[in-house]
């Protein structure tokens, strides 16, 4: 691999990342583009109610409780993946 080539972002194949995208799609704006560093509120046009509904769906999909304060610092999809990984380890 040359120095100018970047390694593929491993998060793209992470099953949690894929599940988050799956659950995000119905709640995000129609023209949304999803990437690891997509900012959930601003880039996807989601307000607080849409985010709450998305998190309910994600909890069901992952069979996991996501306490409120665990998402307080989450901005991007990558942040959310990290938060979920941590929660799964703890549960």
Partner 1 sequence: MAIFDKFQSLTESHDFLKSVGQSPSELQFDEILSPTEAILNGRRTILLGTNNYLGMTFDDACIEKGISALQEQGTGTTGSRIANGSYDGHKALENEIAEFYGMKNAMLFSTGYMANLGAIGTLAGRGDYLLIDADSHASIHDACKLSDAEVIRFRHNDPVNLARKLERLADKPGEKLVVIESIYSMLGDTSPLKEMIAVKKKYGAYLLIDEAHSLGVMGATGRGLCELAGVEDDVDFVTGTFSKSIGTIGGFLVSNVPGLDIVRLASRPYMFTASLPPSVVATAREALSHVPGATVLRAKLWDNATQLYAGLKTAGFDLGPEVSPIVAIRMQDAEKAVALWNGLLEAGVYTNLALPPATPSGWFLLRSSISAAHSSQQIALAVELCTRIGRELGLISCPAQSSAKVEMMNVGSPRKSSKPEAESVSKKDDAAAQA
Interaction site with partner 1 (CB under 8 A): 47-49, 52, 56, 59-60, 63-69, 91
What tokens does 62 get?
Answer: 């992952």
| Angle subtended by helix axes 48-62 and 77-90, to nearest 10 | 40
For partner 1, the closer of residues 24 and 78 by Cβ is: 24
Q: What does residue 8 show for φ and ψ, rounded to 5 degrees?
A: -60, 140
Q: C-beta of 34: minimal distance to partner 1 in Å?
A: 22
Q: C-beta of 81: minimal distance to partner 1 in Å?
A: 20
For partner 1, the closer of residues 31 and 47 by Cβ is: 47
Q: C-beta of 2: minimal distance to partner 1 in Å?
A: 46
Question: Are the CB atoms for 17 and 11 separated by under 8 Å?
Answer: yes
Counting beta carbons within 10 angstroms of the beta carbon of residue 30, is it exposed (0 to 12), middle (13 to 18) or buried (19 or more)?
Answer: exposed
For partner 1, the closer of residues 7 and 49 by Cβ is: 49
């Amino acid at each position: 691999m040359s120095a100018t080539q970047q390694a593929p972002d491993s998060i793209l194949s992470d099953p949690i990342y894929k599940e988050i995208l799956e659950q995000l799609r119905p709640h995000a704006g129609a023209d949304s583009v999803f990437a690891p560093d997509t900012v959930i509120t601003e880039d996807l046009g989601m307000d607080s109610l849409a985010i709450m509904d998305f998190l309910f769906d994600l909890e069901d999909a992952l069979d996991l409780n996501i306490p409120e304060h665990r998402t307080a610092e989450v901005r991007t999809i990558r942040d959310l993946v990290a938060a979920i990984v941590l929660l799964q380890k703890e549960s």
